[in-house]
Amino acid sequence: MAHVAVKLVQGVAVATIHNPPVNGLSLAVRAGLLKALEQARAERADALLLVGGGRTFPAGADIAEFRQPALVAQFASLNDVLGALDEAELPLVAALHGTALGGGLELALAAHWRVAAPSLRVGLPEVHLGLLPGAG
């Protein structure tokens, strides 16, 4: 299964992120988000909806990549993806449930609109480690 699957539903491109268990924003997910945006444009969708598959919206970075900085640096950073989504002419909506932490919260904030389940939890836990938010 693709890390980001896109399906056109009544004119809306629904991009569902699948990277269990917490939908970490891995390289494959970041690339999938960029492809989802391109697919939505190509299909002339009226909007792009970002959804977390399973139990949560992306809950932050994929920590397995922290040990591979040289590999990750060759590909789209989360900042690149967030910039592309923020600048999209297509309306972008993030449907939030579960947890949206760190980069996941930043992904939600890059959307033009957000809707949230009442049980949603958000935060920037990296500040407790002395790291600045900003997907950098």
106 catalytic, yes or no? yes
Give, to the nearest 10 degrees, the angle between helix 78-86 and helix 27-42: 20
Choose the catalytic residue: 38, 43, 65, 106: 106
43 catalytic, yes or no? no
Distance CA 31, CA 62 (A): 13
Residue among 4, 20, 25 at smallest CA distance from 126: 25
Under 8 Å between Cβ of 33 and 15: yes
Which residue type occupies 89? E
Catalytic residues: 106, 126
